[in-house]
Structure formats: structure tokens, C-alpha cells
Structure 1
């Protein structure tokens, strides 16, 4: 949950309403629409120009963990010296496997720190096999298994280099967090309109969905632009080189990066941003926070722009979109399809 830090009496910034939102995808059963996903989506080009829009992508929202690549960039800019694998973990919302935990722990150990310095909550591994191994080893909940531990570990490495206070690295007025906001303004073209508290304890910036798309698109374009910031290239390349660290083997964001070579990052409450190497980027936000339609919508928009091969799209969606089935023999019963609002844009 995001709780507002601001006590300003001014009216709250405008967020999208149901009336402003567009239908993005439909779940069908026996030919009838069983559920309808509504929200906003935007496709921006390499220069940040809006190519397609649905709903109200100019309204503000909390991108949540979709901003982690830009937070990682800020940490590198602040002087964090970490491995590419650790950079990918800093961009990630990982599943807490032992492999993920080990990378986070190695970042801390290099700085002569340990998990007690992390300000994120403790957690158990998210997947059952990892959880069983964790419990069999007589381990308890640990901050290293929390999905944001990589970001926090690299925050600490940057803070150590800055020479600023370790104990307050998540405070919104900490030098590192001020640098994060500078990166948002520079890359997204927007300063955060509101700062909340994210689930991990770090500041959660609010901005438009279009701003998010522009920011991650500019970062991704560092893969092909000779004059791009070196830290942006480092972040984008690390995500593609170590996609397992960003989420986990078999998880949707990881699958998209492995199969299609697109920078991909989900955020809580139904946010997704997917960027091609030239900076063309799709971003999606569902109104009710569901993530079910997001990869289908974002990848379809990118395919319409010629950034995803149609055969590759079909193959990848077969992995990502779970069929609607019934019975022990898993008979086909329905499916998830794009709404007419989206197909009209393709």
C-alpha cells in the first residue's frame, strides 16, 4: 500500500477515473464476456512522441516498481560500484530465490554491511520450491528474500560511496533520493507530482503513464544511441543479460526479456512498461490493479509499431497468457483477448 507523505492542503493531483479509462482486454467464457479489464495505455516513439493512446495516460499514477531501472541508474550515477548481475537485481522485483538472495548479500558484504542495514521488510521466498528449501534449512523470514532487496542493497552501496547517512537512505530528503528525483525529471520529462511510501519503504513517485513510458524508453534507447549516458546503457544491458534477476525463471517479465529482447518491468497495482532498444515503448495501467491483460496489451502495441515480430509475439503470448480451461482434462473454456478499443489502434 502507498501512503501519502504530503500534508499539503492543495487538491490531490488528478488520477484516472472509470469514465476516462478504456477497455483494454476481455476474458471470455462460452463466447460471453466474463470480465473486462479497463485502464490506460500509451505507445511512445523513440523521441518520446505519443503514437497511440487509450484511456487517460496523461493522468498521474504510481508506477511503483516500474521505475526501478531509473532508480538503479541514479544509484550508479551516485557512485555505486556493483556487478552487472547486481544492477539487474536492483531493477527487479524478484521472487526471493536463494540465487537472488546471494546477489543482494554479496553487494552488502562488499560494503561491509549486512541485511540488518536493509530498510525493506522481511519475507519468505515467493515460490513454493524455494520456500520449502528455505524452511528445510531452518531459515526464517529475511529482508534478502524481499522482492526489493536488490534495489535496497544497491541504494546502500551508493549511499556508502556518497558518504551520506546509511540509516536514512530511504528518506525522501536523503541525497540519494533527491538524485533519484533528478533522474525522473531528466528521463521522464516530469518531476514527481507526489511522493508516497512504497511497500518496500522507499519513496514512491507519482507521474503520468506517458512520463513513465518516456523515461524507460530513453533508458532503453541507450542500447542503440552512441551518445547515451553510460549508466543507462549499463542498466539496460544488465536487464537483458540477467533477466532471471529482474523477476525469476518462467516469470512474465523475465520471459519477455529472454524471448524478445525488450526491457520489461512490471509495477504493483497493474503497471507494466516494455521498451524496444530504439526507445519505442508501451506502458499500461489497469484501473483495478490487475496485471492479467498487461503483457498482451503492451506487446500487441509494440508489434503494431513493428517492434515485435508477429511469429515471436504469438510464441511468447502462448507462454504468458494462461488459457481458460475446465475439468480434469483441462478442456478449453474461454480465453483472454484484446478489446475492440485496442484492436482499433493496431
Structure 2
């Protein structure tokens, strides 16, 4: 059971009460338009923070408790660095990754384990096939079984085990919320979001998952992206920005987004979660209520324009086309309340 008595000292950032647990008051954030008619509506919530940390724009419910899923991984990586994890560069990026299961990802996770004197057998994440469809299809053709190393969170789990070895913490129960590692993670979540954790459950990979608000999540990624050089936060941000394909995959939209916008730190999460932040502290956080990836990207792009990013940089992310008879007849696009006039027009 989660305890407020963390194993690491709390930092000086004031921590507010936990966000309210309620059904979020989501609103329309994206339309599926076909032939000029709104065929479908995606609901969700959006938070945009200015460089001063205040909420510059919002849609929906940015204060209700929700699960950030893998968008919380940069925060978890910061916790591990604070606890002494010595990783840098690609391997640190992999520690914060939802990777695609490409060979470079698997090799990196092995390196993290080997540096701690461990093997894949020590991992406690669930076995899975690679996340990238092309890589997964290749595995199936070759008859390769699901494995813990191929599962998209193996870099995080390898780094968690490495952190445990460095601190003399037990390995077999490292996913228990009462374990010193997870208590350290919880303390960092509360420090960077500026609020108490509302709920603790189990994420898809087996690790503890902490409920915060969308506003709190945006604040956390802003603090990581704008941190002073050399701090644990800056080390994580620099690693992910320099190696976005390691933090995701060579064909992933989040990697393309980070390459497109100079200095951007971005992380996606299952169930339609997206965060992104700039070095000056501007940040966005998106939750798509139905978990649809097709809405996550254009809504995040529109939110980044709201945050002041050059719209020309975000044209490729304005929304995937809808096809009819093999030709484009519409598009998924953000609602007018979100997309300012400067966002590229969509069919």
C-alpha cells in the first residue's frame, strides 16, 4: 500500500492536496470530418502552461485525478537519477522510454542490466511482443516468442533494477509500491507535479502508476524541460531530446515531433496521453477520453501552437487524413475552440 513516508527527502517545492477523484468533465477536443460533415467527436482535456507556470489555456477538466500512463516515465527517470542511477545519453533516454522493440532498444536494455550484473531473468515486467507493428510482424514470421526484454517498458524496468542494486535494495519486489524505489518515485512525482498522489494502481507493465491531474503533469514536464544544466531533471530532458528515437522508436510520431520542434521534450502514453514542453517552461498536456491516438497528435499540435510554437513547424501533425475510395476526403482535426486561426487549415 502506498505510504506518504517516502524514502527520499522531500524537495522544497510546495505540495498541494491530491487532485479530486471524480469522473473528468471532458469536452470535445477533436472532430473526425468526412466530406465536410462531422462524423465523429473525440472528447478530452487540454492544459497549456505559459513560461511563468500559469495556465495560459485549458479545455475540459485539467484538475481531476487521472492516470498519466507512460507520459509519467520522464518523472520516474528523474527519481532514479536522484537515487544515484549513473546513466547518460541513449541509455538514460531508454530508461524513460516506451520503446518500439527494435534491436537497438533491446541491446540498450541488456547493457543497463549487465552494468548492474543482472540479466533479463531479473525483470518483472510482463512479457510481450515488440510495440512497433513492423517489428512485431517480423518477430511473428521468425517464430520469436514474447519476452520481457521486448516489452516496451523494459528500459525503465532495467533502470529500476540498476537503481536498486546501487542502493542495496531488494530486487524481487522492486514493483511493490512500498519498496524504497517506488517510494522514491512517488516522492518525485509529488515534488515535480506539486501535488499529492490521488491514487496508486498497477500500470500495464506491472509498475506502480500514480494518479495526478493533467495540470500537475504539465507542471512536472515543464520543470524537467526547463531545469538548470546538470540537475537530474536536465539530464533526463537532454537525453530524451538528443535521442528521441531511443525514447520511442524510429517510426514513432513523438520522435518526429521532437525532431521538428527545436528543444522540445515530448512523451506519449497509452489511453491518449501526450505531454510536451519547451526549455523556457512552456508546456502542454493532453488526455483523449477514448484513448484514440488519431486525436492525440493533432490536439497536442494545436496546443503547442497555443503555447506559441511556430505553426509551420507543426503542419505535419495537423491531423491524419480520412480516406474514401483511396483518396483523402476529410481529416481528424482539433475543435475550433482549441485551434487558433494560425493553425494550418484542414480539409
TM over 0.5: yes
Structure 2 unaligned regions, length at least 5:
3-18, 343-347
Closer, same or farther: CA 287–345 of 1 in aligned 2, 3 Å? farther
SS at 1:238 equivalent:
helix
Give the equivalent residue in structure 2 for 1:343: 339
Structure 1, 77-86 or 178-187: larger mean CA deviation: 77-86
Q: How does 1:80-229 map to 2 (within 5 A)?
A: 80-134=85-139, 139-222=144-227, 225=228
> Paired residue for 2:21, among 9, 14, 17?
14
Number of equivalences: 325
Cα-to-partner distance string for 1:7-47 (whole Å, 9 max, x where unaligned):
xxxxx952344xx2221010111111111011111101233
Q: Give runs of aligned pairs for residues 254-269 of structure 1, distance below 5 A.
A: 254-261=255-262, 262-269=264-271
Distance in 2, Cα, partners of 1:138 & 1:30: 43
Secondary structure at 1:292 match in 2: helix
1:88-145 C-alpha deviation (Å, 9 max, x unpaired) = 1111111111111110011001111111111101112233442354456663221111
List runs of 5+ in structure 1 lacking aligned partners. Answer: 7-11
How far apart, CA to CA, are the structure 2 residues paired with 1:119 and 1:344? Answer: 45
CA–CA distance in 2 between the matches of 1:303 and 1:288?
A: 23
Provide the rounded CA distance (Å) in 2 between the counterparts of 1:343 and 1:140: 44
- C-alpha offsets along residues 226-253 of structure 1, whole Å, 9 cap, x if unaligned? 5xx6111110000011111111112111
CA distance in 1, matches of 2:311, 2:341: 16
Tell me what 2:327 maps to: 331
Residue 49 of structure 1 deviates from its aligned partner by 1.0
Per-residue deviation, residues 188-222 of structure 1 (Å, max 9, x unmatched): 10121110011111100001000000001100012
In the alignment, structure 1 residue 250 sits paired with structure 2 residue 246: no
State the 4+ residue runs in structure 1 displaced beyond 4 angstroms.
135-138
- In structure 2, relative to structure 1, the CA distance for the partners of 1:32 and 1:136 (3 Å cut) is closer
Q: 1:81, 1:157 within 8 Å by CA — same for their partners in 2?
A: no
Q: Name the residue aligned to 1:9.
A: none
What's the counterpart of residue 9 of structure 2? none
Deviation at 1:267, TM superposition (A): 1.2
* Alpha-carbon distance in structure 2 between the residues aligned to 1:60 and 1:138: 42
Does the 8 Å contact 2:283/2:307 carry over to 1?
Answer: no
Q: CA RMSD in A?
A: 2.0
